[in-house]
Amino acid sequence: MPVMDRLKAISGSAAIVGVAESDRFGRTPDRGPMELHAEAGRNALADAGIDKSEVDGVFTSGGYSTYDIAEYMGIAPHFTDSTSVGGSSFVIHIAHAMAAIEAGYCEVALITYGQTGRSDRARGALNLYGVTPGLPNAQYEAPFGIIGPPIAYSMAANRYMHQYGEDRTREAMANVAVSTRKWANMNEKAHFYDTPMTFDEYHDSRWISWPFHLLDCCLVTDGGAAVVITSAERAKSTRKGGVAILGAAEGHDHAILHQMPDLTRTWGRNTGPQALEMAGVTHSDLDMAMIYDSFTYTVLVTLESLGFCGPGESPDFVANQRTAPGGDFALNTNGGGLSYAHPGSYGIFTVLEAVRQLRGETGERQLDDCKLAMAHGTGGLLSSTGTVVLGRE
């Protein structure tokens, strides 16, 4: 079990000092994923005011090893971490970076991400069904047409509906879809910046895998993102100062769907409480939460797992557009994977938005007096989670 005394001792010892997307964002048919990694990495370093030559720790995931990305970018790191547990990986890298910095393995950590899900699909290059014969899903799920996240997540959602009520769950999913779109309408980088969504449009959108409508599902876009982390001490001399990493936690409890112990609880049940305790804060202290919204259901199951509300209570928690702009719980203020961007593994974008809200850089959608934020990634088939609590005085 995590040793809380030691975690508390390193709380705040490292800080996020740079965040950025790639220059090309949304649809980039003429750009490959590695270039998006590199663009975002360069932009995040510029955001921090740190030269590439000072990077001595690299972190990545999503089809590339750190040596692929570091070679491309011309970086030879002393610490390397390609932890690959789906879309939460890039949130998990934050804790790994802090631990490495605290232990002395490196001083400047660069986390990069880049994917071209949208253009891959257009190019016909997407290999969703390249199943590895030796992995269990090739034998025990794929033959039954259980392939890819939408089907798996919709099966989990149906179990939730059965346990907690179909109509109220449906209404909650609609609330999440619509409130998230409202935030996207305030983010000019968002795919759906110019496109509002009504409840009717949600309910009328076509079925992908019942109980999921099209508008329960995240986007498929192209894009990259990167995060720069250094010690709290060194953060003071960076261009914008640091956003402190106060709490962090990670883990997973299954890989393929039918092995998930409870389809209505993710590993966030551990990472939420751990990250908050490490930070010495509680849910009610948070000014905002960024929760990976691969699907509307992902938000509901995650809010409960993290402890924002009890099992079965998230439909009440998100009711009446409570999580929309102007509501009293600021959630996914960038417009989320549902309406802002989702190149394939969205986790890192939860961190970008949390940092920008804490810095006061988000313009029209800026929250008042935002000092404490949670960013949370989910990976695989509700399999892995990574949670961080970030703060700024």
Q: Which of 18, 211, 251, 272 binds other proteins (CB under 8 A)?
A: 211
Each residue of 206-235: b (16+ CB within 10 Å) or e?
eebbebbbebbbbbbbbbbbbbbbbbbebb
- Closest CB 103 distance from other proteins, rounded Å: 27
Structure tokens at 314: 């998230």
Does residue 206 touch other proteins according to CB under 8 A?
yes
Residues 337-356, one symbol each (x = binds other proteins by CB under 8 A, - = not), give: --------------------
Structure tokens at 312: 């079965």
Name which of residues 41 to 70 contact other proteins (CB under 8 A).
Answer: 41-42, 45, 52
- Closest CB 284 distance from other proteins, rounded Å: 33
For other proteins, the closer of residues 274 and 298 by Cβ is 298
> Which range in 87-95, 99-107, 150-158, 231-239 contacts other proteins by CB under 8 A?
150-158
C-beta of residue 215 within 8 angstroms of C-beta of residue 177? yes
For other proteins, the closer of residues 265 and 322 by Cβ is 265
Count of Cβ atoms closer than 10 Å to residue 371 Cβ: 15
Residue in the block written with tokens 């557009």? 321
- Closest CB 203 distance from other proteins, rounded Å: 14
Name which of residues 74 to 103 contact other proteins (CB under 8 A).
Answer: 74
DSSP-assigned letter for residue 339 = I
Helix (H, G, I), strand (E, B) or coil at 22: coil
Count of Cβ atoms closer than 10 Å to residue 309 Cβ: 16
- Closest CB 281 distance from other proteins, rounded Å: 35
Does residue 207 touch other proteins according to CB under 8 A?
yes
Count of Cβ atoms closer than 10 Å to residue 23 Cβ: 15
Does residue 158 touch other proteins according to CB under 8 A?
yes
Q: Which of 32, 165, 311, 325 binds other proteins (CB under 8 A)?
A: 32
Within 8 A by CB and 6+ apart from 324, the residues are: 178, 179, 182, 183
For other proteins, the closer of residues 40 and 288 by Cβ is 40
- Closest CB 150 distance from other proteins, rounded Å: 7
C-beta of residue 296 within 8 angstroms of C-beta of residue 337? no
Count of Cβ atoms closer than 10 Å to residue 164 Cβ: 18
CA 76 – CA 101 distance, rounded (Å) = 17
For other proteins, the closer of residues 87 and 224 by Cβ is 224
Q: Which of 105, 212, 292, 308 binds other proteins (CB under 8 A)?
A: 212
Name which of residues 249 to 278 contact other proteins (CB under 8 A).
Answer: 256-259, 263
For other proteins, the closer of residues 13 and 259 by Cβ is 259
- Closest CB 215 distance from other proteins, rounded Å: 13
C-beta of residue 246 within 8 angstroms of C-beta of residue 281? yes
Closest among 211, 212, 215 to 200, alpha carbons compared? 215
DSSP-assigned letter for residue 186 = T
Which residues of the shown chain bind other proteins in the complex (CB under 8 A)? Answer: 29-32, 34-35, 38-39, 41-42, 45, 52, 71-74, 128-129, 131, 133-134, 136, 138-148, 150-151, 154-156, 158-159, 162, 206-212, 256-259, 263
